[in-house]
Structure 1
């Protein structure tokens, strides 16, 4: 069990060295607990010989109070430290995530990120009390064994040997099982991915019995069974190792009572003290050993979070703390795309689907239509043109200024996009000085004023049809007031009346405001509304001449 990874993680994240205070409280708590044992044994011996003294009660109460206060303090400080660490790690990972390149995000997958930020951080959070109790129990056992040495050296040596064997065996077993815990975590991530397919594609599986059958029996049930079996194996092994370790303790107790007196007659007078000491440490030993399982899970969680944070950090550009960008491209006159190429690759680096070369230019205020069949690469092109994907080759120029990593965010800020798989946020983020009256006017313009309202920076109802939700997204686009507006099949989900409004009025209203329009569309009846039309055909790109 690589506990050093967890210890280094806590030291690194404990910026104010509060872990030292926790260690101090834990040491005092464990020592005071051991002293309680010594006071009880000593007092019992005196009482048996008729030498009772009230000062024993006072000493007992004093040590007891120290134990209670320091243990409570240790638990409280541990909870504060661990929750603060979890907060910092979540905050950093989310910051890195929000600055990670889209391609890396898509490669990671939602389930991986969700599992790390929820389950793994919860494993660390839930370990706080167990770790504090386990460490305190370990300190108690340490001092209790030292106390045992003062009682009888033979009992002390045998205890050290047997406990050393038991703990070594448990650590050796724990090292072997850590890999299986990691495999179980991986299976859980895959399981969550499949559950996400159920929730995301619920309508589709409701109307397709075979799809439902394949997803449940062919995937979810198989993965769930593997996960169940892996967890049963892991838990069974951990239980066996735990019981085996506890068995050592009872063997130790039996040795003290039945074997040592035979080997050393001088021990007979101390058997009661030795037995009381061993009984006193059995439960704390169980707590200390039980902590190893928690440490195993917490260590796996720390390893997963560390790897995720490292991966995100390596693929992060820009800083979240800098919302006010320079706007160096705000007054552009022309966007030029020269010999752009982009391709997807699998995990082994093998080329998959690619697009290019892309050669065209867009002047400010133009209306550009891009057409093409399903799978032709239109959505990939949108991500490339808007800077969400960096080209593998070629260049993007804004008025002859090359778009590179250092200014990519300024370039992205030119665009407002409604993707085909758009996401509608719960609130109007990123829009300053938002006036309710303006939003209500836009709701009326989009014929949604009877469907939803606007209050406290959010729409009061988003449980609408896809076309209506796209109109809410259009309101956000209008309020964002960006220079280049990109619509990926926006009109496809609108009724004929609103589709006509989009092509005959709305895009021209945008044009009058100096906006540039890039629209992915299949609506050939409206091709005459565009200044230029381009066609994607299985990754190739060319200008299209319309007969309309």
Structure 2
């Protein structure tokens, strides 16, 4: 029922028309059977118009079936596009921590596999309507020949359908589990693609991953899918067999109970044989509907998991800021471990035109601090103030427009999005970053294939610079650059950004460039201290001892 509501929500008129055309096609199909029966058992002298009626019925079947299918193909694709759009909108508007907890593998499985399952089931809807109408009209026609025989046929068909639906319910348990297991398979496939360099570089790790992780996950999903599909197949065959059992009873048992004419018996056998086709079609469609229902339930469950929309932005990026302040801000990751990491309390003030360096060891909380600062994470306690006003849920999306960010694991799109830049400015940054061969100036395309990590970061910085926001946040940008580009970053790019009035927050370990910053802060075990000179001295001692 939910599936049909989804279909009708996209266009109830097209759905209704395609359903009616499918039903009309079913009536025309049954008309063909009635004409064949009449030609076989009727008076030959009255058969003069039968060829024309037969040809007309064939044309009617063709036109109604093709029209219904064309309508529903368009409608099912529109429904799929709507589902993807609604899910993408929820994903975009959901809080980042929620999306991180759900996992990209679940989101991808829903956007691709579940939507495709729904589309496939909906595409067969006109055929199901036609088959249902054939069955209904066929039973009516059988009743005109003999009411007792029609009653017996309905009983046999009812038993077959009931046993099929019972088997389908048993199969559902395994098919739902297979769909849950599919999320784990997608997760491991993504891990294989993302970690291919690590797998190629260590044969034992590769073998452990394939035989201890990937194959067990795939085997578990496959096992549930095979059991569920086998139960469905058995139920389908068993339900269909009942019609043939009914034909056997009709041919061999009924004449022993009551007298029946040869014409009536022929009509019954011919009609029931024909009805096995539409019944088989419906029984074959129900598993697809069942899979689509599982997909709908999965999408609804995922929607509930991420259905925490944030206030949308005004789509206008702020041109400047006067002050930004974090007051007693804390953030704790959700975990059952009592010793889970917590950041804060943090007190931090940013002013226009300053260059702030944030240093600290791995896992100390630097990236978490950057996500809190940029509004991607919401503080558990404390206040985030922008120009003296609290950053509430109503303005958080607008607040995030203050920042151009380059995170350690940031994604790089293959084109410039959301920027309107002059060719001169684009060429300036391309030249400064040495990216002449990676950017098509005419089209704004970024050649993101086969990039080193350093080139990836440079293209990301290019996009951030063209974005032209008041505050730039760099998460260890220089960590994967060669010495030449490190020097360009600290000695040319950062001073240039400050010269044009930008504020820079850079997470860095490069203590020999600390003189470029107006302030250096140190993060230690989730605590932030203002220790410009102390941070430089400490890191210098660490590097000296390591040498």
TM over 0.5, shorter chain: yes
Kept in 1: contact 2:414–2:447 (CA 8 A): no
Matched, 1:119 2:113: yes
Matched, 1:362 2:359: no
How far apart in 2 are the matches of 1:61 and 1:453? 61
**What are the residue-to-residue correspondences of 1:59-458 with 2, within 5 Å?**
59-312=53-306, 314-319=307-312, 322-324=314-316, 327=318, 330-346=319-335, 352-432=340-420, 434-450=421-437, 452-458=439-445
Matched, 1:36 2:36: no
Identify the range of structure 1 (512-521 vs 467-476) with the bigger mean alpha-carbon deviation. Answer: 467-476
Kept in 2: contact 1:34–1:140 (CA 8 A): yes
SS of match in other structure, 1:478: helix
* Coordinate RMSD, CA, aligned: 1.9
Judging changes above 3 Å, is the alpha-carbon distance between structure 1 residues 483 and 129 closer, same or farther for their aligned structure 2 residues? closer
Q: CA deviation at 1:64?
A: 2.3
Judging changes above 3 Å, is the alpha-carbon distance between structure 1 residues 397 and 464 closer, same or farther for their aligned structure 2 residues? same
Q: CA deviation at 1:453?
A: 4.2
Gapped runs of 5+ residues in structure 1?
none
SS of match in other structure, 1:406: coil
Q: CA deviation at 1:350?
A: 7.5
Matched, 1:500 2:487: yes
Gapped runs of 5+ residues in structure 2?
537-547
Judging changes above 3 Å, is the alpha-carbon distance between structure 1 residues 460 and 6 closer, same or farther for their aligned structure 2 residues? closer
How far apart in 1 are the matches of 2:518 and 2:123? 67
How far apart in 2 are the matches of 1:242 and 1:266? 31
How far apart in 2 are the matches of 1:157 and 1:351? 71
| Number of the residue aligned with 1:6 | 3
Kept in 2: contact 1:371–1:522 (CA 8 A): yes
Matched, 1:543 2:527: no
Q: CA deviation at 1:51?
A: 2.5
The number of residue pairs the alignment matches comes to: 535
How far apart in 1 are the matches of 2:247 and 2:495? 89
Kept in 1: contact 2:521–2:531 (CA 8 A): yes
Q: CA deviation at 1:490?
A: 0.4
Q: CA deviation at 1:52?
A: 4.1
Kept in 1: contact 2:23–2:132 (CA 8 A): no
SS of match in other structure, 2:172: helix
How far apart in 2 are the matches of 1:84 and 1:113? 20
Judging changes above 3 Å, is the alpha-carbon distance between structure 1 residues 455 and 378 closer, same or farther for their aligned structure 2 residues? same
Q: CA deviation at 1:249?
A: 1.4
Name which of 11, 17, 26 aligns with 2:13. Answer: 17
Q: CA deviation at 1:385?
A: 0.6
How far apart in 2 are the matches of 1:20 and 1:131? 11
How far apart in 1 are the matches of 2:22 and 2:223? 38
TM-score by length of 1: 0.94
How far apart in 2 are the matches of 1:101 and 1:342? 14
Deviations 1:222-244 (A, max 9, x none): 11111121111111111111111
Q: CA deviation at 1:508?
A: 1.1
Kept in 2: contact 1:336–1:361 (CA 8 A): yes
How far apart in 2 are the matches of 1:442 and 1:545? 30
How far apart in 1 are the matches of 2:302 and 2:365? 30
Deviations 1:283-305 (A, max 9, x none): 22111111111110111112222
